Amino acid sequence: MTARPFQAVLIVMMMIIGTGQAGAQPSTTPPPPIAEFGTLPDAMIFYVAHGAPDSCGPGCADWIAAEGTIQFDTFKRLIAILDRQSGRKLPIIINTRGEANLNVAVSMGRILRDRGLDASPGRTLVDACRDKPQADCVALKRAGGPFDAKLDASRMLCDTPCVLMLAGGVHRSLPADAHVELVGMEIRNRLAPNVSAEHRAGLTTYYGGQARLYLREMGIDPALLDIVDRNWADRHRPTDVPPSAWLKFGLVTSGAL
């Protein structure tokens, strides 16, 4: 899980075992696949949004929405939209869902840090999507914007892929009422699912170490993952990280949006 994880991603995928999203965000039918070979349904898309003054922070009215599931090729779409911004450093508003490729989530966090971008979780509500079927709305967003929109940061769930991507933000914030819930990780091979238990355990240890190294480099206390692993080993208990611990572990560098 270095800055060049993409070859490894084709062989091994670190996946969330459980997301704990029930009740945290409205349930929706997965949108149709993005028109790329091998891309899975609900793959994360990126687009530029424009809102009222100070929508995304003091002096901030424009942002890049990142919404959907982080999958093996998601980093390519992130790079593509960043390259189209002509040097503008728009904050990234993260809305992850579903089982995620955590190796790619780490690579995306590194991209954010390399580009000097801020990050925070939130929902982007595009004006043009009002009263549109979900499939039509997703097709519209794939054009990349900019779209007039509102930012809703209330009662956000920030799960493990969200935290790994958020970690790359130069300045990172969490809404005051956000729910940070982390779960354990496991190795799955998308192309060859019958990986032996011994090999899977070894890879899990390796990638767990790489995740800790990444968090340390981003300024987040890797001891957080030790707590997550202990809780997950105890009957698969998710780890809720309360707001009082966000600054302690380095999850945030500033207050809420």
Question: CATH no. for residue 118?
Answer: 3.90.226
Q: What is the pLDDT of residue 65?
A: 98
Radius of gyration of the chain from its Cα atoms, rounded to whole angstroms: 17
Task: Give a yes or no: residue 176 inside a domain.
Answer: yes
Q: Which of 81, 72, 65 shows the shortest CA–CA distance to 39? A: 72
Average pLDDT over residues 187-198: 65
Task: Give a yes or no: residue 255 inside a domain.
Answer: no
Q: Please count the other Cβ atoms lying within 10 Å of the Cβ belonging to residue 174.
A: 27
Range of the domain at 239: 6-249
pTM: 0.83
Looking at the chain, how many residues does it have? 257
Quote the CA–CA distance of 56 and 182 in Å, as a whole number: 25
Alpha helices by DSSP H, 169-222? 197-218
- 188 has pLDDT over 50: yes
Task: Give a yes or no: residue 128 inside a domain.
Answer: yes
Q: What is the pLDDT of residue 190?
A: 59
Quote the CA–CA distance of 42 and 98 in Å, as a whole number: 8
pLDDT tens string 211-231: 999 999 999 999 999 999 999
Least confident of 13-22, 64-73, 163-172, 173-182: 13-22
Task: Give a yes or no: residue 100 inside a domain.
Answer: yes
List Cβ neighbours of 49 (8 Å cut-off, separation of 6 or more).
Answer: 62, 63, 64, 65, 93, 124, 126, 145, 146, 147, 148, 149, 151
Q: What is the pLDDT of residue 29?
A: 52
Task: Give a yes or no: residue 254 inside a domain.
Answer: no
pLDDT tens string 61-99: 999 999 999 998 999 999 999 999 998 999 999 999 888
Helix, strand, coil shares, percent, the chain, to 5: 35, 20, 45
Quote the CA–CA distance of 68 and 104 in Å, as a whole number: 13
Least confident of 27-36, 87-96, 149-158, 238-247: 27-36
The most confident of 28-32, 64-68, 198-202, by mean pLDDT: 64-68
Number of domains in the chain: 1
Quote the CA–CA distance of 63 and 89 in Å, as a whole number: 9
Q: What is the pLDDT of residue 27?
A: 42
